[in-house]
Structure 1
Amino acid sequence: MKTGIAKTASLGIQHVLAMYAGAVIVPLIVGGALGMTSAQLTYLVSIDIIMCGIATILQVWQNRFFGIGLPIVLGCTFTAVGPMIAIGHSYGLGSIYGAIIAAGLFILLTAGFYSKILKFFPPVVTGSVVTIIGITLIPVAMNDMAGGQGSADFGSFTNIALSFGTLLFILMMYRFAKGFFKSISILLGIVAGTIAASFLGKVDFSAVGEASWVKLPELFYFAVPEFHAIPILTMILVAMVGIVEATGVYFALGDICERKLTEKDMAKGYRAEGLAIVLGGLFNAFPYTTYSQNVGLVQLSGVKSKKVIYTVGGMLVVLGLVPKIAALTTVIPTAVLGGAMVAMFGMVIAYGIKMLSKVEFASQENLLIIACSVGIGLGVTVVPDLFSQLPEGVKILTNNGIVAGSFTAIVLNLVFNVFKASPKQVEVAKAA
């Protein structure tokens, strides 16, 4: 699908809006927990958005050493929130960024190893992982539809009307619009929802007036990196969690783009993420990973052009450099974003199911793999305190529904499909 400048920009804005809320909430949570001032929080959000753009460009720019070359958008990982706060309180800000740099270097150095385990990710695993990713994102969308977790008007009629109105508008556009207008249905739905919210007094432009015009990134703005063993090991676990999530996204987008991924492709994708993590540590930002919410947008719009994603990266850099412009996106009510997220996250689930259609369902083992992995992924998401009594280092892996479900799918596939006994071994066992 060929896209002109105006169309490319519009499609890019859709991707930015799809990930922006998730990208800014992480620095706000971490910075607030670590006692940062308003000025520091403003910078933390700005540098995070800049790094999201740079990380995205590194991933879509396919070259000999890094970049998978798929329409992937990267952002700061939610998995890092708890560990970063814990490290900051126990070791200081410098240790956070030292651990992030070390984790990024670890991923860079071990990328080749990860690329050699593709045989452990058949459709029964990748389909389950993508389905789990979509399922675990739905609660985020539902909370936003109600106005955002902890908001004073959570679940109010106004929020419900705005969110479902936005979703209905998107569905109507997708049903009746054609061509370009159909491809930007998400953007049009968000704009329409925001306009409606303005008439209800739900749009506040004060943040735009308070934001500065320009803020350039600075190396080691908050602290010079310090390197301590426990924080480094913890952040390496966080980075590995990101690789598990990214693998599912790679396969989903590879399927959408009708491109068969090789070991070399996967290794370059992992290296791009490792490089993005290192840069995040150097500029005192965050570890970065692929954002699965943008997969649904690629599927919905039908636009798979890398040019659009390059545009997204550039837009994010500009938004980060000009906080006043970036503040404009904060006027979109949470309920409006929530309505749009339901469509995007639901498409992730639908694509996971499509991938599972390639699985041999006559095999009871495959049915059991899907049942247990999706069940555990959803269960951990719904009951996050299930593993609350385990050590902190272990909880990094078990408290995340995507990782818990993905790990289950991988292990069960090894047990039932990869390392299962051959007919001759079974006969020998029976004879014994």
Structure 2
Amino acid sequence: MENETRRIVGSGEKLNIWQSLFYGFQSVLACNLFLGPIVIIGIMKMDISSAAALISMTFLACGIATVIQSGFFLKFQVIQGMSFATIGAIIAIATQANFATFAGALIVASIVLMLIGWSKIFSKIVKNFIPELVAGTVILIIGLSLMPITFNSLIAIPGNPGVNFLEAGVTFAAMIVFMRLAHLPNKIGRVSMVGAVIYAIAIGTFVASLFGHVDLSPVASAPWFAVPQLFPFGAPQFELNSSLIMSFILLIVMVESIGTWFSIAEMSGEKLESDRIDKGVVGEAVGCLIGSFFGGLPVTSYASNSGVIAVTKVFSRYAAIGGGIIAVVMALCPKLMFLIAVVPSSVVWGIYGVICIMIMMSGLMSIRNYSLTERNILVIGTTVLTTIGATVLPPPLVQSMPPLLSYLFSSSICVGALTAIIMNLILPAKAADRALVTNS
């Protein structure tokens, strides 16, 4: 019989410095923290200096937020990265006003979110409106919503699509091989388990270099050290409408984060208590607030890291602290940041493919504990339907919606999460719907 009993390293278990940095490094690699700011840069058509500043400051904000969240508040292995649900709001505020107004809106929204966490309102909302069936469904649609992004991004990468898919496919296959080798009850299994992500990225990058897709010149020209600048886009400007919009968007983003937290709790076998949820909300708010001082973008707990730790089974928060420190050092040392940036996008998306599967299957494992009654099937099925629907909506249609709806429908994860919550409320649950299935 196949050995599936690898030891789970709990969130409170300490790692030594090198273990923390190693696991944290592969999480930073897999989470692709460059992606969010690169999307903003492309849409805003920023010049090179502004683009470099935005990427660097986003890494700084993500690193600080990760250390704060995993070290002092939520105390889970979470990597904080820019939330894609906020892109619509960022673009709207920055184009209609400027980045200084966006910074002011983010400051106000962070404080509002912080007060909600301190007042312990959010955990009560979760307890009453997000039972485990809904949480599992949210985890499922997080993985599901990331899958089209993987394929669309591979298609959009410059160059020969066939070569791009080949590089991604080799990386994907290497990742699967190392994951399976990790089950061997010997040294090969142990080595494969701890570094499957890094090994797969290394193989994928080597294959990409054979096609000339690895360019080390930015590393050579990048400086070794850069001093972060306080409010790099000017003193924050405060405007009521933009502040209200960002406050609403950050609440929506918390739905994404809650799904990630539930995913980690489900996989690790730990409890996500009300007190921990409220502390996590405060931690995310503090991370956004501090990041806003340095020109960083709003952060959320990245679902892609759940896929990484589903492979390694290392849930220790000290790995996330190591990842946060690496992100901060990279922000302060552009040469190191560009060294990671040379990993081709096709390789990253190859890793993402496996991560999407692991997240989605984690949600399915949670859902299978419930009886598939007609009511539960409707909750799950409608959520999946609206999530897929949101991913295929034409951008002009989304942009033509009222601002708040436009921001909401720009994130299929938010649409799906809200659908699950609403369906759970409007379809009363009977005793049969709450019954748990005994899996033999």
- For 2:209 and 2:45, locate their aligned partners in 1 and report how far apart those are by CA, in whole Å: 33
- TM-score w.r.t. length of structure 2: 0.89
- For the pair 1:380 / 2:386, whether they are aligned, the reply is no
CA RMSD of aligned residues (A): 1.9
Task: Judge conservation of contact 1:123–1:359 (CA < 8 Å) in 2.
Answer: no
Identify the range of structure 1 (348-357 vs 113-122) with the bigger mean alpha-carbon deviation.
113-122
Paired position in structure 1 for 2:25: 13
**Structure 2 counterpart of 1:109, from 91, 115, 118:** 115
Question: Matched residue of 1:289: which SS?
Answer: strand
2:93 aligned partner, one-letter code:
I
Alignment of 1:31-430 (within 5 A): 31-62=41-72, 67-111=73-117, 112-117=120-125, 118-146=127-155, 149=156, 151-153=157-159, 155-156=161-162, 158-176=163-181, 177-361=188-372, 363-385=373-395, 387-417=398-428
Structure 2 letter corresponding to 1:87: I
Aligned residue type for 1:155? P
CA displacement, residues 195-250 of structure 1 (integer Å, 9 cap, x when unaligned): 12212211111211232211111211211111111111111122112101011111
Sort the Cα spacing of 1:331 and 1:387 in 2 relative to 1 into closer, same or farther, 3 A: closer
1:426 — aligned with what? Answer: none
User: Can you list the C-alpha shifts for 1:295-334, whole angstroms capped at 9, x where unaligned?
Assistant: 0111111111112111101111101100011000111111
Aligned-residue sequence identity (percent) comes to 29
Residues 197-206 or 101-110, more deviating? 197-206
Question: Please, which moves more after superposition, 307-316 or 24-33?
Answer: 24-33
Pair 1:14–1:412, CA change in 2 (3 A): same
SS at match of 1:61: helix
Greater alpha carbon shift after TM alignment, 279-288 vs 340-349: 279-288
The offset of 1:24, in angstroms, is 1.7
Moved more, 276-285 or 93-102: 276-285
Structure 1 residues 34 and 174: CA distance shift in structure 2, 3 A: closer
> Where does the alignment leave 5 or more consecutive residues of structure 1 unmatched?
422-432
Q: Is the 8 A contact 1:246 1:289 kept in 2?
A: yes
Distance 1:390 1:41 in 2: 29
Task: Identify if the C-alpha distance between structure 1 residues 29 and 342 changes in structure 2 by more than 3 Å, giving closer, same or farther.
Answer: closer
The separation in 2 between residues aligned to 1:289 and 1:384, in whole angstroms, is 25
**Is the CA contact 2:71–2:318 (under 8 Å) kept in the aligned structure 1?**
no
Contact 2:145-2:413 at 8 Å conserved across structures: yes
Q: Are residues 378 and 27 of structure 1, via their aligned partners in 2, closer, same or farther at CA, if it must alter by over 3 Å?
A: same
Q: Quick check: 1:101–1:280 contact (8 Å CA) kept in 2?
A: no
Q: 1:226 to 1:5 in 2, by over 3 A?
A: closer
The 2-side partners of 1:255 and 1:152 are apart by 38
- 1:32, CA displacement in angstroms? 4.6
Instruction: Give the SS at the match of 1:393.
Output: helix
Contact 1:387 1:395 in 2 (8 A): yes
